[in-house]
Structure 1
Amino acid sequence: MNTTQQTDDTTDLKELFFSLIAQWKLIAVCVLLSLICAILYLRVTPATYAVDGLVQVESGKGGASAALLGQQLSSIMDTTGLGQQQAQAEIQILQSRLVLGTTIQTLNLDIQVKPTQNSLLQRIITKPDFQTQYSAEGIAIHNDSDNFTIQELKVPESFEDKALILHISGDQLTLTDKKTDLEVFKGKLNKNNIMSNPYGTWRIAIFSKAPLHQDYILTKQALPSAVKSVLDNFSATEAGKQTGVINITYQGEDSLHITHVLNTILSTYKAQNVQQSSAEKEQTLAFLNKQLPTLKADLDDAERKFNAFREANNTVDVNQESELYLKQSIDLETQKIQLQQKQAELAAKYTSEHPMMQEVNAQLGAINKKIGELDTTLKRLPDIQRRYLQFYRDVEVKNQLYTNLLNTYQTMSVAKAGEIGNVRIVDMAIEPVKPIHPKKLNILILSLFLGGFIGVLLALLRNMMQSGIKDASQIEDEFNISVYATVPRSDLQLRRTHLLKKKRQLPILAVKDSEDGAVESLRSLRTAIYFALGKEHGNQVILISGTSPEIGKSFISINLATILAQSGKRVLLIDADMRRGYLQQYFATSNNLGLSNLLTDNVTELNQVIQNTHVENLAFISRGKSPKNPAELLNTGKFVAIIEQLKQQYDHIVIDTPPLLAVTDAAIISQSVDLNLLVVRFAKSHLKEVDITINRFKQSGREVHGVILNDIHKTSGAYGYGYDYQYSYDYKSRK
C-alpha cells in the first residue's frame, strides 16, 4: 500500500457537473412532479379578486363651534386640532361594527352556505359551479342543477357559528347539527317557518322550485364572527401621510359579490357620517331653541325698563364720553356672555386643567377686569346718566345677542337641510376583470425552478451517498495495482435485471453491438492480457471475481470470453458460481449438467458438460444444479485435474467465480489459474472492500494481477488508464 498518498479534499467541479448530467432523469422527474403539483394547485385553488374604493376626509368646524364661539374662538380651537376628523379615526370607523355590522345585516352576510360534496378529489376532477348572491331579500344559491333561496335564517344563540346540514326531501326540510348528528329543526319548504323547540326559537324561510340533489352546510354566524370574516378580506389604509385620503380594498372569490359588498360598505359609511353631522347640528338647534325664548324675554324686560326710565326722566343728555363708555361696556358684556356659554360647553367635556378651559378662563378674567374698571369709571357719572347708560346697555347687549343667536339658528337650519357630511366618496368599487391570485404564470415558472432545485439537491445528495470508487487512479495509488480496463455503462447491461426476472435469453453485448463503448474497453483488456502479462503468465486460465454481488463480473466474463473467441482463439467459459450463476441464460441452454455434476462424480466425461454456443470458437460449461457444499467440492483436488485437462483443449479458459467477500470459492479456484482479475463497480465498490479482497487473495498465496473498473457513467468524467471513454466513442464514429 502506498503510504505517501495525500488526501485530496477539494471538489472536482467538472466531475460534479457531469454527475448532475448523468442524473438528468431524476432532475427531469422532479421538475415534472413539481409542475404537476403546480397544475393541481391551480386546479383546486379558486381565483381571488380584489376591488377598491377611495374616500376623502375633509376637515370642517362643528356646527356648535361655528355657531356659539364665533370666528376668534373657532380659530383658537382649530390651532389645537379640536373638531378636525383625522384619517386614522375614520379608518377605525370604517372597520367598526357600526359600519360593517350594518352592511352584514343589510346583505345577510352572516349566513354561510357551502355544499357537502366539496372534497379535494372532486375539485380536481370537476371544476365546481357554486355561486351565491347576497342581497337584502336573501341569499340565492346556484350549484349545478340546484337552485334555492334563503330568505331568512335565524337560529337560537346556542347554534350560532355551528355547522348545520340542510336536507330537503319533498316539501320537508331538516337541519342537523354536523358535530352531534342530531336533528335540531324540521319544517316546510317554500314557507316561513317560525318554531320554538327545546333548543330555542327558529325563524327559517327557504324556497326552491325543484328538489335538491345534495345536502348543504349552513352556518349562521354571530355578529363578532361575521365582522371578523369581513375584516379578513377588508383593508383600509391612508394613501400617504396626512393626505386625508383613505384607500379601501376588499377581496373575495366572486367578483360581482365583493363589488356589491364594498359599495354597500361605502354607502353605509357615508350615511352614518351624514347622520353624525346632522345629529351635531340637531343638538345645536335644540340648544338654540332653549336659549332664544329666554333671551327674547330678557330683551323685552330690558326694553320695558329702559322705556319706563325714559318716560320718567324725559330725554337725558349723554355726552360723547358717556357714549364711548357705553359702547365699550356693550362689547365687553357681549364677549363675556359668549365666553360663559363656551365655558359651560367645554366644562361638560374637559376638566379645569385642560388648555382650552384655561384659555377661556383667562379670557373671562381679562374681560371681567375690564368691566370692573369701566364700572368704576361709570360710577363717577351723574346718577341719571349712569342709570340711563345701564338700562341702555342691557337693551343693546341682549338685543345683539338675541339677533346673533337668531341668525345662527336660521343658518344652522339651512345647513342641516343640506348636510352632506365631511367625507366624500371619490371612487366607488367597480367589478374587477382579472384575479389578483393565484398568478398562474408565476406559479408555473416557480414550480419549474423549485422542481429543478429539488432535483439537483437530490442528485447531489445521491452523489454524496455514493462514496465508492470514482476514479481508476484511486485504486492504483492506494494498492499499487494496475487498472487494465474502465468499462462504461451500457444500456443493454441496464436491461439485464429486467430480462433475468422475465427468464428470457440475455443478449451478449459483444455480439449484439460490437461497436459499443463497453466492448471497445474490453478489447483494450484483451490487448493488455496479450502483451502486458502474456510473457509472464501465459494467461491461459483467467479468473474473474469481484468484491461483492451486483458489480457486473458475469457481464465482464461473458463479453471478454466472446471477444477472445472472436479473435480466433479457442475459448471455454466456465460458470463457477455454483450458488447463483446465470450464464446459461446468455446461451439459452439447460442448467441440468454442469460443473457441479463433474465435481460430484455424477458425470465423468467432460464432453457431457461442455456445450457449444452460437458464438464461434466459444464453448461453455454451466454451473449445473446447485450443490449443498460448493466450497468443499472445489477443494478436493478434482477441480485442479479438470482444469489441467481442459487446458489441453483450449487457448483460454475464462472462469466466472462468486464474489470473494461473500464466499471463499474464488480463493480456492485461484490456485489453479494463471491470471486473477478483480472487477469493481464505479461509485458502488469501496476502497475498503478492495483492500479486504486483495488481502484474501494474499492469504491464499495468490495475488490480484489487475483490476477492471466497471459501469462508469457516460457523463461521470472518469477516465481509465489504458482506455479513454471519450476516445472509444470517437473510435466508434470513425469506424
Structure 2
Amino acid sequence: MMDDEIDLLEIAGQFFQGKWTIAFFVLLFAFVGLVYAVAKPPVYQADALLQLEARAGRLALPEAMTELVDNSPETQTEIEIIKSRLVLSRASAILGLDRRMTPTLMPVLGSAFHRYPFPLPDFEVLRPYIRYGEGAALEELQVPPEWLDTEILLVSKGHEAFDIFLPDGHRLRGQAGMLVSDPKSGFRVKLSELTAGVGREFTLVQINQLDATRSLREALSVSERGRGTGVLELRLTGESPEETQLRLNAVADAYLRQNVSRSSAEAESSLEFVRGQLPEAERAVMKAEAALNAYQSEQQSVDIELETQSLLEQIRALESKLRELDAQEQDIKELYTPNHPVYRQLLAERERIAAELAELRKATSALPETQREILNLTRNLEIAQAVYVQLLNRAQELSVLKASSIGNVRIIDRAQGNSIPVEPRRMRILALACILGLVVGMGVVLLRNRLRRDVTSPDDILTLGYSVFATIGQVASKYQLQGRHSKPKLLAIEDPTDLAVEAFRSLRTSLHFSMLDAELPAIAITSPAPEAGKTFVSSNLAVVLAQTGQRVCLIDADMRRGALRKYFNISKGSVGLAEVLAGDIELEKALVLGPEPSLAILPSGKHPPNAAELLMRPSFKHTLERLKEWFDVIIIDCPPVLAVTDPVIIGKTAGTLLAVARQDKTSMGDVHAMEGTLATNGLQVAGFVLNGFDPKRLKSRYGYSYGYGYGYSYQNRTEK
C-alpha cells in the first residue's frame, strides 16, 4: 500500500484504541454544553399576521385611467415600513423601552439561579445576586440628559424598601409604589413592585430613543407567508412571553395607525389636486359659454336648426357608446385574447360605431358655416361642463374618503406569545456539544498518533541497526506486573508450554552465543521507559536459563522501585543489594533461593536515598566479581534509562546491555532518546527484546502519552 493512501481500518483501530480519550472529550463537551444550555437565559417568541389589501384607485384620475394603475400590494415596501424608525419609535415610546431595570446575576450560572429554585447561600459576597422568585417592576424612570446611558445602582433593603445611588454621589431612599424624585437633578423613579431580599442589587438605565428603536428592530423579523399572498408574518423575540406579546402588539398597532394616516394623507393630496383644478374647469365652462353666446349674438341666431340638433345628439350618443366600449374592452382583455370571438365582436362593434361617427362628422362639414360653428361651440361647452361636473363629483368622493379612511392593512391574528422558549434549544445544544466533543476527541487521537510513532514490529527496531533477540507474544495479565499491589506469576513455571516461553528459550540461545567472548557473564536488562515489561523478561529469562542447569543469579538493581520480589514471593522488608553495597550485610546472607535449584535472587533491599551513589562504589563491581565465581550467568534487572542514571552506571560494569521494548507502548522517540543517552556515556545496546507482540495489531500504530517525565515515578523511597 502506498504511503499517501488512507487506511480506514488503521484509522478505525486508532479510534478504538483511543476510545477512552474520545469518551473523555465527549463527556467534557457534553457537560459544557449542558451548563451553557442551563445558564443561558431563555428567549421567547411571539407572532402575528397582517394582511395587505390591494389599494383601490384613489387618485384624481378618470375611471378609465385608474384601471391602468397597478394596485397590487407592495409587500417588500411594507416590510421595510414596518421595520422603519417611523413605526418602531412610536411603539418604543408607548412601551417605554428606553428605560430598563436589570437584576445583578451571579457570573456564569446566575440566570439558572434566577430561574430555578437552586439554593444559594446568603454569604456577604453572594448577597447582591438575585435569587429564584425575586424581582422588581419599573413603572417610571426619568433622568437628566447628561445621565442617559448611565447605570444607576438600586439596592433592596427588604420590605419593598430600596436605596438609589445617583451618579452625582447622592443617595435616595424609596418605597415600592411611591414616586422618588430628586428636584435638583430632575431624577424621577417609581417601582410598581419589589420582591427581593436585603442587599439585592439592580441596575437602572435610561437609553436614548434611537438605541431603544435599534434594539427593537434587532428582535423583530417580518416575512411574507407564501409568495404573492400579501400576508405578512411578524415575529418578535424577548425575555418573557407576556412582554414579547405586548411589544409585538404595539408594533402592529403602530404600523396600522401609520397606514391609516398614510391613506388619509393620500386622499387629502388628491382632494387638494381636484380642488385646485375646479376653478380652471369653471373658467373653461364660462369661456365656452361666453364664446357660444357671443357667436349667436353676432349671427343673430338663438338656436341651431333641427337637423343640426339631430346631428349633435347622434354624435353625443356615438361618443358615449365608444366610451362604454372602451371600458368593456379593459375588462374583456383580462379574460380573453384578441382572437377570442367575444373580443373580436367587441372590436368589430367599436369599428362600426367609429365609422358611423366619422360619417356624422363628415356630414357636419356640409352644413352651413354658421350652423357648423354653433355646433362646434356647443360641443366645447358640453365637454367643459362634463369635466367640471366630474371634478365636483370627485371632490365630494375624496372628502368622504378622507373622513372614512381605514387603510389597506388589517390584522388577521394579533400577537400571541409562546410559553415554550425558542432558545436555547437544549437538546440541539447537547447533541452539537457531543458531536463537537467526538470530533475533537478523534482529532486529538489522530494528532497524538501523528506526533508519536510507537514500536509496532521488529522491523522498526531493525531499521535502527539493532538486533532483535526475541519477540515475545502477549500473555495473560496474571503473568505481568500490573501495578504496585499486583502479584504476578512466573510464566516459565506456571505455563511452560506457552509460546512466549518458547520465545524466552530462543532468547536464551541468542544470549549464549553473544556472550561467549564477554569477560563478565552479566546481562543488564533495561528499557527506554517504564511499563515495557523488563522485570517480566528478566525473571522468566532467569528461570529458563536455570532450567538448563546453569547457575543463574537474578539481581534486582532497581533500588528505587524494585518489584522483582513480587515474582518470587519475597517479603518487602527483605535485605538485598542496597545493604550489600552499603556494607551492612554479607553477600551470601542476602541471596534468596529461587524456584529452580540453580537460581538465586538478590532483591533490591530497602529503598536507599542514594541509589546511584551506591552503584558507583567499587563494591558494586566487587559484588559482580564474586557472583561470577559462584554463577554461570548474572541477570541484572535495571531501571528505565530515561528515568534515572542507574542503567548507565550498571552498563559500564555489566558485560551485555539488553533493552526491552513493548509493542504500541514504547515510542520510537523514547528509543532514540535512550540511544543518545547511552552513546553519550560510551555505551551501546547489544540488542532488543520486543515484548507484548500481537500480529493482529501490526498495521495499527496507537498512541500513548509522550514525554520523558519519568523521574517523578522513580524518586527515592524510604521505608517507614
State the TM-score, normalizing by the size of structure 1.
Answer: 0.69
- Partner residue, 1:90: 78
Question: Residue type matched to 1:510 in 2?
Answer: K
Query: Structure 2: which 5+ runs fail to align?
Result: 119-129, 318-360, 701-720
**Structure 2: distance between partners of 1:714 and 1:48:** 57
Distance 1:121 1:512 in 2: 57
TM-aligned CA distance change 1:263 to 1:8, over 3 Å = closer
| 2:331 paired residue number | none
Q: 1:42: Cα distance to partner?
A: 1.7
Report what 2:302 is aligned to. Answer: 316
In 1, Cα distance between equivalents of 2:436 and 2:392: 77
- How far the C-alpha of 1:465 sits from its partner, in A, is 2.5
CA contact (8 A) 1:657 1:665 kept: no
Are 1:31 and 2:26 counterparts? Answer: yes
Match of 1:595 among 557, 567, 577: 577
Cα distance change on mapping 1:623 and 1:264 into 2, 3 Å: same
> Is the CA contact 2:556–2:562 (under 8 Å) kept in the aligned structure 1?
yes
Aligned to 2:165: 176
For residues 140-197 of structure 1, give each alpha carbon's deviation from its aligned partner in whole angstroms, at most 9, with x where no partner exists: xx974445432222222222233322224367644336xx694476655422345432
Per-residue deviation at 1:225?
0.7
* Residue matched to 1:139: none
2:115/2:132 contact within 8 Å kept: no
The alignment partner of 2:416 has SS state of: coil
Residue 94 of structure 2: aligned partner: 106
- Select the residue among 116, 119, 122 that pairs with 2:104: 116
8 Å CA contact 1:609–1:621 kept in 2: the answer is yes
Query: Secondary structure, in 3 states, of the residue corresponding to 1:197?
Result: coil
- Are 1:469 and 2:452 matched, yes or no? no
2:205 is the alignment partner of 1:219: yes
Partner residue of 1:683 out of 666, 672, 686: 666
Deviates more, 1:562-571 or 1:186-195: 562-571
Q: Residue 278 of structure 1: CA displacement?
A: 2.0
Shift of 1:454: 1.3
Q: Map Cα deviations across residues 442-499 of structure 1 (whole Å, 9 max, x no partner).
A: 33333332222211111122222322422123224553623413364986799866x3
What per-residue deviation string (whole Å, max 9, x for no partner) do you get for residues 626-685 of structure 1?
4674455358862343113331xxx764322355684533334433xxx75321244325
Alpha-carbon spacing, 1:127–1:613, altered in 2? closer, same or farther (3 Å): farther
Q: Deviations over 1:125-150 (max 9, x none)?
A: 663589xxxxxxxxxxx974445432
626, 650, 664: which is aligned to 2:648?
Answer: 664
Amino acid at match of 1:507: S
Q: Deviations over 1:73-117 (max 9, x none)?
A: 4356x2xx5x87622221221011221111112222333332112
Aligned match of 2:438 in 440, 445, 452? 452
Partner Cα distance (2:463, 2:589) in 1: 46
Structure 1 residues 472 and 220, CA gap change in structure 2 (3 angstroms): same
Question: Aligned match of 1:528 in 506, 513, 533?
Answer: 506
Give the counterpart letter for 1:57 in structure 2.
L
Paired with 2:495 and 2:187, the residues of 1 have a C-alpha distance of 84
Does structure 1 conserve the Cα–Cα contact (< 8 Å) formed by 2:458 and 2:690?
Answer: yes
Amino acid in the other structure paired with 2:628 = E
Q: How does 1:243-392 map to 2 (within 5 A)?
A: 244-285=230-271, 316-319=302-305, 323=309
1:510 counterpart residue number: 489
* Native 8 Å contact 2:648 2:678 kept in 1: no
Give, in whole Å, the separation in 1 of the partners of 2:593 and 2:433.
Answer: 58
In structure 1, C-alpha distance between the alignment counterparts of 2:699 and 2:6, rounded to whole Å:
14
Q: 1:294 offset after TM fit, Å?
A: 9.5
Partner Cα separation in structure 2 for residue 286 and residue 129 of structure 1:
66
> Which residue of structure 1 aligns with residue 627 of structure 2?
643
SS in 2 for 1:664: helix
How far does the alpha carbon of each residue in 1:499-553 deviate from its partner, in whole angstroms, 9 at most, with x for none? 3xxxxxx534116998899x95752343325556568869996624225352442
Counterparts of 1:221 and 1:638, CA distance in 2: 90
Paired with 2:193 and 2:425, the residues of 1 have a C-alpha distance of 38
Q: Which residue number corresponds to residue 160 of structure 1?
A: 148
Alignment equivalent of 2:187, drawn from 202, 221, 225: 202
Matched with 2:351 is none
Q: Residue 362 of structure 1 aligns with which residue? A: none
Is 1:192 aligned with 2:179?
yes
Between the aligned partners of 1:309 and 1:10, the Cα distance in structure 2 is: 108
Residue of structure 1 equivalent to 2:13: 18
Change (3 A) 1:382 1:526: closer
How far did 1:577 drift? Answer: 4.4
Q: Indicate which of 509, 516, 525 corresponds to 1:545.
A: 525
The aligned counterpart of 1:424 is: 410
Structure 1: where are the runs of 5+ without partners?
Answer: 1-5, 131-141, 332-372, 500-505, 720-735
Question: In the aligned structure 2, how far is the partner of 1:157 from the partner of 1:45?
Answer: 34
CA deviations over 1:336-383 (Å, ceiling 9, x no partner): xxxxxxxxxxxxxxxxxxxxxxxxxxxxxxxxxxxxx9xxx9x99669
- For the Cα contact (< 8 Å) 1:489–1:710, is it kept in 2? no
Q: Secondary structure at the match of 1:428?
A: strand
Deviations 1:399-445 (A, max 9, x none): 54553344334433443444321223344333336444433333333
Q: Tell me the amino acid that sits aligned with residue 35 of structure 2.
A: L
Q: Percent identity among equivalent residues?
A: 26
Instruction: Choose 444-453 or 94-103, whichever is displaced more.
Output: 444-453
* CA distance in 1: counterparts of 2:592 and 2:490, whole angstroms: 18
Residue 654, structure 1, aligned to residue 602, structure 2: no
Distance 1:516 1:190, change over 3 A: farther
Are 2:245 and 2:417, in contact at CA under 8 Å, matched by a contact in 1? yes
Aligned equivalents of 2:289, 2:685: Cα separation in 1: 142
Matched residue SS, 2:48: strand
* Gap change, CA 1:491 and 1:312, over 3 Å in 2: same
In structure 1, the partner of 2:125 is none
What residue number does 1:438 align with? Answer: 424
Q: Which residue of 1 aligns with 2:711?
A: none
TM-score under structure 2 length normalisation? 0.71
State whether residues 578 and 630 of structure 1, in contact with CA within 8 Å, keep that contact through their aligned partners in structure 2: no
Aligned-partner residue type, residue 149 of structure 2: D
Residue 509 of structure 1 aligns to which amino acid in structure 2?
P
- Aligned CA distance change for structure 1 residues 221 and 143 (closer, same or farther; 3 Å): farther
In structure 2, how many angstroms separate the alpha carbons of the residues matched to 1:283 and 1:711?
96
- Are 2:33 and 1:55 equivalent residues in the alignment? no
**Contact 1:634/1:669 (<8 A) preserved:** no
Contact 1:599/1:638 (<8 A) preserved: no
Distance of aligned partners of 1:110 and 1:208 in 2 relative to their CA distance in 1, 3 Å threshold: same
Q: Relative to structure 1, is the Cα distance of residues 574 and 297 closer, same or farther in structure 2, using a 3 angstrom cutoff?
A: closer
Moved more, 203-212 or 532-541: 532-541
- Number of matched residues? 630
Alignment counterpart, residue 71 of structure 1, candidates 63, 78, 98 = 63
Q: Which amino acid aligns with 2:164?
A: L
Shift of 1:118: 4.1
Aligned CA distance change for structure 1 residues 186 and 599 (closer, same or farther; 3 Å): closer
Deviation at 1:277, TM superposition (A): 1.2
